[in-house]
Amino acid sequence: MLWLDTCHAGAMKVAMRGAEAGEELSQALRSGEGTFIIAASKPGEESEESKDFRLEGEKSGHGAFTYALLEGLTHKADMDNDSAVTISELSSYVAKRVPRITKGRQHPYFRLAGTDVPISMK
């Protein structure tokens, strides 16, 4: 599972041992049993940050992506109300939430392959 909160995260390329230089990150990680990539923005988009993107009780803000991800992990992403947030539920929540809070200026990038599993339980 890989979460990237950087500008142009969806266009990230990798150059590391075992992966060809410039190979798309999702291609390099696909060789594993399951690959779950959730990136802050599509290629060519800026990742927004704001002091308004903060959870209750926090003093400083986050990027829109991290904010939506943290909201989702606090069970706002639990779509079927089974007290568990799965990777697919979190991805869906973040995919809808980020464009809303950025007024359509930022759209997360996802590449999900493998068995859906819970990542947060109540």
Per-residue pLDDT of 49-70, as tens digits, reads 999 999 999 999 999 999 999 9
**Confidence class for position 27, pLDDT limits 50, 70, 90:** low
Give the model's pLDDT for residue 97.
Answer: 97
Give the amino acid at 90.
Answer: L
Give the model's pLDDT for residue 33.
Answer: 63
Is residue 12 within 8 Å of residue 70, measured between CB atoms?
no
CB under 8 Å to 89, separation ≥6 — which residues? 72, 77, 78, 79, 80
**Confidence class for position 6, pLDDT limits 50, 70, 90:** low
Is residue 54 within 8 Å of residue 27, measured between CB atoms?
no
**29 pLDDT higher than 70:** no
